[in-house]
Amino acid sequence: MTIRRAARWFAALVLAAVIFLPTLALAGPRSGGSFSGRPGFRAAPSYSDSRDNRNTYGSGSGSHFIVVPGWGWGGGYGYGHGGVGLLGTLFVLLMVGVGAAMVMRAVRRSRQGGQGGSIASLFGNSGGNDDSLVLQGRAFLYKLQLALGRSARSIQDRLAVFAAQGDTSTEAGLAAMLQQSALELLRNKDSIRYALADGRGPMTLTNAETAMNAAAMAERARFQVERVRVADGRFARSDAPAEEGKEALELIVVTLVVATRTPLEKFRAVSTADELAAVLAELGGVPGNGLLGLEVIWTPADANDSMTETDVMTTYPELRSL
């Protein structure tokens, strides 16, 4: 391809971008709303697999170290008489045996309980409670995304009320808002036409919060005006003028991103209304002390905004028909 021909192709691409990108930017809903909180992540203690990078062999509180005496009979840390003494050899063999037994025990416990992977899990914890520390340092992340028909358009106002009146700064308040949202979706289950259920975990608290923030940002970036935003007890409302949609309001998309301390047994990919109802019921039953964080996002939020089935298929291609 000559330079002149390549330049013509480049000019054509630029012209197409100028013409079509504004149209694409205006496609789909303009408005949305959300509420969220992370009280469980804020209150959870921070656990490090490397025990804060301390040069210790072991775990738990206090200092743990291994003392190796002089290996030879000649004293000090030398080899004495040109080789390893009998006592030193027996001590080393004993330590190797103990270490191997500890590793095998940790691997066996990991296979049975689905834990493991960290250095701390190989050596146990103080107080003899080997599993509590691992569980406290792990999180499970779930995303449920639903597209409801226009017969459920009242859910826009209901979610806005939950955002305005709920308490997103505490675990109990956030659990109540999750229960209200799940119950509202259950009441409108006959209007749900598309769904996506995805779960991840176990993962570290840091990784879970990072993944949760990324998922929430990706969903909130799909609309231009965030009409209502409540986060960690702070309420904000956009005064940007509402615009009437160019198309009909055919669907409303609601997304729930939930981080829990323990796995949800019934949360799995859904293909039927009954499976979806079971997932919503389990989400609504998550107690405050089991909830790390929550994001509830819906679009459109303005009454006259629009979202067609084509918009949903192009903007949310991962959704599947029920």
Beta bridge partners of 228: 33, 237
Domains of the chain, residue spans: 25-44+138-321, 50-136
What is the reported pLDDT for 94?
Answer: 56
Are β-strands 320-321 and 192-204 bridged in parallel, bridged antiparallel, or unpaired? antiparallel
Whether pLDDT at 133 is above 50: no
Q: What is the average pLDDT value for the chain, to the nearest integer? A: 74
Which two three-digit tokens encode residue 215? 């998922």
Q: Rounded CA gap, 111 and 103, in Å?
A: 12
Query: pTM value?
Result: 0.66
Which two three-digit tokens encode residue 103? 């590793």
Contacts of 274 (CB under 8 A, 6+ apart): none
What is the reported pLDDT for 27?
Answer: 55
The pLDDT tens digits of the residues spanning 267-280 come to 999 999 999 999 99
The pLDDT tens digits of the residues spanning 236-248 come to 898 888 777 778 8
Are β-strands 225-231 and 138-149 bridged in parallel, bridged antiparallel, or unpaired? unpaired
Helix 273-284 and helix 171-187: axis angle, to 10°?
A: 160
Helix (H, G, I), strand (E, B) or coil at 55: coil
Which two three-digit tokens encode residue 115? 């834990």
Q: What are the CA-CA distances from residue 271 to residues 24, 150, 190, 280 (Å)?
A: 30, 21, 14, 14
The pLDDT tens digits of the residues spanning 97-111 come to 555 555 455 445 544
Output 12 or 209, whichever has higher pLDDT.
209
- Kindly state the percentage of the chain with pLDDT values over 70: 62
Q: Rounded CA gap, 64 and 93, in Å?
A: 20
